[in-house]
């Protein structure tokens, strides 16, 4: 019998027999971390594996099992795990200091590289995370336009700030994210991806839209694709309305092409968020 036809109970029993070390760590974690995990992507039944080391495309768990890694550090490991050139560069940087709390030459050189690659990047502001980048983009759009409302698309993920989790359904039971203040939620307009009529209606009905934000390849790493023609519709509508078009290229930047999705399709947004690099 092939693995694809084994009953779930058999697969689970085999998994548990192979991963006692991970089971023990998961039991400890459940008393310390919400749901026993540090990120929702690791919510596995009966428990996730615990990785001990990695190199290239491979991971080894605490029980010595070897895995081919198709996840790549949430998409950030373009060069694989433990790449010698990356390790050497990190070691060189550590030897010079871990936290200057001041300006340094690397931030200048890094910004120069980003502006050379990303068509929309006239200026670069570094942040601590993708969530912070999207939060700052929304705030900048509101400050620039003097308008309160932001359009986002169902299923698209832009981090955990209140403005971008409003209406986002990602709980394991399918319920929307709770804890978002009503006033914040009222300033976020939801639209279905690729819905030309829907987005046109929003602009007709709301003259106070500051920005439209989306993942330009589609939600969930592009598993729900956005049609390139729809991106052009968004570019045209935002320009006509005096609103900003924001591409969240946290996943796609430097991957779809060196210049991200915007370079690949030839549509330049007003603002771009980048991370996982």
* Domain ranges across the chain: 3-75, 100-273
For the domain bounded by 100-273, which CATH number is listed? 3.40.640.10
Q: Find out whether 59 and 51 touch, Cβ atoms under 8 Å.
A: yes
Distance CA 246, CA 238 (A): 10
Distance CA 149, CA 211 (A): 7
Residue given tokens 């930047």 in the structure block: 253
Instruction: Give the C-alpha distances (Å, rounded to integers) separating 76 from 37, 252, 261, 277.
Output: 20, 10, 16, 5
pLDDT tens string, the chain, 277 residues long: the values are 455 566 788 899 999 999 999 999 999 999 999 999 998 889 999 999 999 999 999 999 999 999 999 999 988 898 999 999 999 999 999 999 999 999 999 999 999 999 999 999 999 999 999 899 999 999 999 999 999 999 999 888 887 777 676 555 555 555 666 777 777 778 999 999 999 999 999 999 999 999 999 999 987 766 789 999 999 999 999 999 999 999 999 989 998 999 999 999 999 999 999 998 7
Instruction: Give the C-alpha distances (Å, rounded to integers) separating 270 from 113, 183, 195, 235, 254.
Output: 19, 26, 21, 9, 18
User: For residue 189, what are its two tokens?
Assistant: 């307009």
Q: Find out whether 267 and 235 touch, Cβ atoms under 8 Å.
A: yes
User: For residue 28, what are its two tokens?
Assistant: 């400890």
C-alpha triplet 120, 170, 216: angle, nearest 5° = 20
Ramachandran sector of residue 34 (left: φ over 0; alpha: ψ -120 to 50; beta: rest): beta
Distance CA 254, CA 155 (A): 22
Residue 165 has what pLDDT? 66
H/E stretch holding 68: strand 66-68
Distance CA 86, CA 108 (A): 19
| Burial (CB count within 10 angstroms: exposed 0-12, middle 13-18, buried 19+), residue 32 | exposed
H/E stretch holding 244: strand 244-248
In the chain, DSSP finds a helix count (H) and a strand count (E) of: 12, 10
Distance CA 78, CA 73 (A): 9
Q: Find out whether 63 and 22 touch, Cβ atoms under 8 Å.
A: yes
Give the domain 3-75 fold: 3.90.1150
Hey, do 3-75 and 100-273 end up sharing a CATH topology, with the first three levels equal?
no
| Burial (CB count within 10 angstroms: exposed 0-12, middle 13-18, buried 19+), residue 45 | exposed
Q: Which residues contact 55 (CB under 8 A, 6 or more apart)?
A: 80, 81, 82
Q: Find out whether 60 and 51 touch, Cβ atoms under 8 Å.
A: yes
How far is CA 193 from its chain centroid?
17
């Amino acid at each position: 019998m092939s693995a694809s036809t084994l009953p779930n109970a058999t697969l689970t029993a085999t998994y548990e027999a192979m991963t006692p070390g991970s089971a023990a760590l998961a039991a400890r974690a459940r008393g310390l971390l919400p749901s026993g995990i540090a990120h929702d992507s690791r919510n596995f039944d009966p428990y996730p594996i615990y990785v001990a080391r990695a190199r290239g495309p491979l991971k080894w768990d605490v029980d010595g099992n070897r895995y081919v890694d198709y996840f790549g550090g949430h998409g950030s490991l373009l060069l694989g795990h433990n790449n010698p050139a990356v390790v050497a560069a990190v070691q060189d940087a550590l030897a010079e200091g871990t936290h200057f709390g001041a300006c340094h030459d690397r931030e200048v050189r890094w910004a120069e590289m980003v502006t050379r690659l990303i068509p929309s990047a006239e200026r670069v502001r570094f942040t601590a995370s993708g969530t912070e980048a999207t939060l700052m983009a929304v705030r900048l759009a509101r400050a620039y336009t003097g308008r309160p409302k932001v359009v986002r698309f169902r299923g698209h993920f832009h981090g955990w700030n209140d403005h971008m989790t409003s209406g986002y359904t990602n709980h394991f039971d399918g319920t929307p994210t709770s804890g978002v203040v009503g006033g914040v939620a009222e300033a976020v307009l939801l639209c279905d991806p690729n819905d030309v009529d829907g987005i046109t209606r929003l602009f007709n009905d709301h003259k106070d839209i500051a920005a439209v934000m989306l993942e330009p390849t589609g939600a969930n790493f592009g598993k729900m694709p956005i049609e390139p023609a729809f991106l052009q519709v968004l570019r045209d509508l935002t320009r006509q309305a005096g609103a900003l078009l924001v591409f969240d290229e946290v996943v796609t930047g430097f991957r779809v092409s060196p210049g991200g999705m915007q370079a690949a399709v030839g549509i330049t947004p007003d603002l771009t968020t980048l991370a996982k690099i």
